[in-house]
Amino acid sequence: MHRMAEPKIASRSPYVLDVEPGTYAWCSCGLSKKQPYCDGAHAGTGMIPKIEIVEAAKKVAWCGCKHSANKPFCDGAHNTLPS
């Protein structure tokens, strides 16, 4: 089984989306083809998606770099990542 030490950087900016109330599975590994959401690509990495329950319709800045300290939301960590 392959273990990832660090998630893949999917985007160096957040995914800012209007979301409806519901349950979302945020991709934590960076491998999903359906960013920022999980598509199961983490299988074998030892990583799992972060489940987030959204109570009301709102705009969300989902973390794209996968290094936020406030996962699954963007905290600006993408600005400090090495290029």
pLDDT, tens only, 40-64: 999 999 999 999 999 999 999 999 9
Q: What percent of the chain has pLDDT over 90?
A: 90
Please give the tally of structural domains in the chain. 1
What average pLDDT does the segment 11-35 reach? Answer: 98
In a domain, 10, yes or no: no
Q: Look up the pTM and report it.
A: 0.92
Structural domain contains residue 62: yes
- DSSP three-state, residue 78: helix
Nearest alpha carbon to residue 12 among 69, 50, 60, 66? 66
Residue 5 inside a domain? The answer is no
pLDDT at 83: 80
Question: Is 34 domain-assigned?
Answer: yes
pLDDT at 2 over 70: no
What mean pLDDT is predicted for residues 55-80?
Answer: 98
In a domain, 64, yes or no: yes
For residues 50 and 28, the answer to whether their CB atoms sit within 8 Å is: yes
Q: What pLDDT is attached to residue 4?
A: 61
Range of the domain at 32: 15-80
